[in-house]
């Protein structure tokens, strides 16, 4: 096996410390004694001391596993001084039955010395800042949704069935009604008259929905839920403002991405933050889709395919692409992606069709960011123009299945 690095270090990192194995050549040419394993703390001063020791040892590669978030202080302090490599723990799995922190560190050093590991994608500092902000906004939005769901469930115990007649419990009309309930108003007719716009057509139904046993205890709990929802909404607004500032160097990329059907500004922010907007990191669209966890799995043995499920990928990126795909699924008309979704859902089902649309969006993202061009929609008639004979035969077959006799005549050009 070829030796790529004569001096290699492997780090097995935990929350409180790290086991460090350094692999160096022996006194006799071509020999490598067992690595010396030492333990170092995970505080900044200890990491800096470790960095100085590795520099003095003249290591040419430092390998560490992506273990939770514990790798970050080591990686961020090493990256400007040492050739550090972050690797997937699954790719660096040790031999079963011989797994300890010490053996893990030595195993990483050995794999790194022979160049058997591929580095994970670690974005540059500006993208890290943007990624922290977009992920915090995603988590806050999810917390807000959960808090609204808790409020909706609590209202069931009061007999208030407002959510049966409104699509958004935090909409203008429903929020006004809930605020009035908390303030002490109990008359269903008065509460229903707080409806705005088109909701006023449903005042009779709202009167029934707002008739319940809402008491002072319920008002107290609802007030707590509403305060929590408003607080989280404030966090989201602050994060959005900060994201807009951090997005300034990537504004052109965001504008490109929003030309894709289904991709909103919020989705584009997440795509830029998670991919880094630099497609040179991913050689092909397939590499990007595989990294994101949107490519079919490859698990074949003896000619038998065991599983083709997609692997776990970036949950934030997959979540954003899922929102875009669902938007296309709800409004599939007049776009290429909508036509593709219609074709796939018949043969593959809704879930696989959505994943395929996510894959198509990510492929478009790669080409747009790599070439610096806006999205050019092939059109909803793309598949019809691609194979008109197949489209014609399918239409004739379906009409015959419905009991019609079909005769085709060529239409003369005007």
- How far is it, in rounded angstroms, from Cα 318 to Cα 291? 11
Cβ pair 292, 317 in contact under 8 A: yes
State the pLDDT at residue 386: 84
305, part of any domain: no
Query: 261 with 232, same domain?
Result: no
Query: 344 with 399, same domain?
Result: yes
Query: 88 with 131, same domain?
Result: no
CA distances 341 to 321, 326, 350, 369, Å, are: 14, 10, 9, 24
Residue 74 CB-density burial (10 A; 0-12 exposed, 13-18 middle, 19+ buried): buried
pTM of the model: 0.85
Cβ pair 192, 207 in contact under 8 A: yes
Query: 108 with 138, same domain?
Result: no
118, part of any domain: no
User: What is the Cα gyration radius of the chain?
Assistant: 29
DSSP 227-284: HHHHHHHHHHHHHHHHHHHHTGGGHHHHHHHTTSTT--HHHHHHHHHHHTT-GGGSSS
State the pLDDT at residue 388: 84
Query: 209 with 236, same domain?
Result: yes
Query: 365 with 379, same domain?
Result: yes
Query: 376 with 272, same domain?
Result: yes
Structure tokens belonging to residue 390:
């197949």
User: Do the strands 304-307 and 299-301 form a parallel or antiparallel pair, or are they unpaired?
Assistant: antiparallel
- How far is it, in rounded angstroms, from Cα 207 to Cα 197? 16
Last residue of a domain, one of 113, 137, 166: 113
215, part of any domain: yes
191, part of any domain: yes
Last residue of a domain, one of 83, 113, 143: 113
Query: 374 with 264, same domain?
Result: yes
17, part of any domain: yes
Query: 158 with 261, same domain?
Result: no
- How far is it, in rounded angstroms, from Cα 393 to Cα 400? 11
- The enclosing domain of 42 has a CATH number of 3.30.420.10
State the pLDDT at residue 37: 87
Which residues, including other chains, have CB under 8 Å from residue 357's CB and lie 6 or more apart? 324, 325, 328, 329, 337, 340, 341, 344
State the pLDDT at residue 304: 77
Give the Cα-Cα-Cα angle 334, 324, 374 (nearest 5 degrees): 65
- How far is it, in rounded angstroms, from Cα 73 to Cα 283? 28
State the pLDDT at residue 95: 66
Task: Count how many domains the chain has.
Answer: 3
304, part of any domain: no
- How far is it, in rounded angstroms, from Cα 209 to Cα 178? 12
The whole domain housing 38 covers 8-113
Structure tokens belonging to residue 248:
């300034």
Query: 272 with 401, same domain?
Result: yes
Given the structure tokens 């990329």, which residue do they identify? 253
Residue 338 CB-density burial (10 A; 0-12 exposed, 13-18 middle, 19+ buried): buried
Give the Cα-Cα-Cα angle 3, 7, 10 (nearest 5 degrees): 100
Query: 237 with 133, same domain?
Result: yes
69, part of any domain: yes
Cβ pair 61, 112 in contact under 8 A: yes
120, part of any domain: no
**For every one of its 414 residues, what pLDDT tens digit does the chain have, with 9 covering 90 and above?**
678 888 899 998 989 899 999 988 876 666 677 788 899 999 999 999 999 999 998 999 999 988 788 999 999 999 999 999 999 887 777 766 667 788 888 888 888 888 888 888 888 999 999 999 999 999 999 999 999 999 999 999 999 999 888 888 999 999 999 999 999 989 999 999 999 988 899 999 999 999 989 999 999 999 999 999 999 999 999 999 999 999 999 998 999 899 999 999 999 999 999 999 889 889 899 999 988 988 877 777 777 777 777 777 889 999 999 999 999 999 888 889 998 999 899 888 999 999 999 999 999 999 999 988 888 888 888 888 888 888 888 888 888 888 888 888 877 654
Query: 320 with 374, same domain?
Result: yes
Last residue of a domain, one of 113, 136, 158: 113
């Amino acid at each position: 096996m070829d030796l790529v690095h004569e001096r290699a270090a492997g780090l097995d990192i935990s929350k409180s410390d790290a086991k460090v194995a350094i692999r160096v050549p022996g006194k006799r040419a071509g020999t490598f004694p067992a690595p010396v394993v030492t333990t170092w703390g995970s505080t900044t001063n200890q990491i800096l001391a470790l960095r100085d020791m590795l520099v003095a040892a003249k290591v040419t590669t430092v390998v560490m596993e992506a273990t939770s978030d514990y790798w970050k202080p080591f990686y961020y302090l090493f990256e400007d001084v040492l050739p550090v490599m972050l690797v997937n723990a699954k790719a660096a799995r040790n031999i079963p039955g011989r797994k300890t922190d010490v053996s893990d560190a030595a195993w990483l050093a050995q794999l790194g010395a022979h160049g058997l590991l591929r580095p994970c994608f670690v974005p540059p500092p500006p993208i890290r800042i943007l990624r922290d902000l977009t992920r915090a906004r995603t988590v806050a939005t999810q917390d807000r949704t959960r808090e609204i769901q808790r409020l909706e469930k609590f209202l069931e115990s009061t007999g208030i069935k407002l959510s049966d007649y409104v699509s958004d419990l935090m909409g203008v009309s429903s929020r006004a009604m809930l605020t009035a309930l908390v303030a002490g108003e109990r008359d269903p007719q008065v509460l229903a008259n707080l409806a705005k716009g088109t909701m006023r057509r449903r005042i009779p139904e709202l009167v029934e929905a707002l008739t319940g046993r809402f008491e002072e205890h319920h008002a107290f709990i609802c007030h707590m839920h509403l305060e929590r929802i408003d607080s989280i909404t404030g966090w989201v607004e602050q994060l959005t403002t900060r994201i807009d500032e951090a997005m300034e160097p990537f504004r052109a990329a965001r504008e490109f991405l929003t030309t894709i059907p289904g991709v909103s500004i919020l989705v584009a922010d997440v795509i830029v933050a998670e991919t880094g907007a630099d497609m040179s990191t991913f050689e092909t669209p397939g590499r990007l889709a595989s990294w994101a966890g949107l490519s079919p799995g490859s698990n074949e043995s003896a000619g038998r395919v065991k599983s083709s499920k997609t692997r776990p990928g970036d949950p934030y990126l997959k979540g954003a692409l899922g929102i875009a795909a669902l938007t296309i699924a709800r409004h599939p008309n007049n776009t290429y992606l909508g036509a593709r979704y219609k074709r796939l859902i018949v043969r593959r089902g809704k879930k696989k069709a959505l994943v395929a649309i996510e894959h198509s969006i990510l492929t478009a993202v790669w080409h747009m960011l790599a070439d610096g061009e806006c999205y050019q929609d092939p059109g909803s008639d793309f598949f019809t123009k691609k194979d008109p004979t197949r489209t014609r035969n399918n239409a004739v077959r379906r009409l015959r299945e419905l009991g019609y006799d079909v005769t085709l005549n060529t239409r003369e050009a005007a």
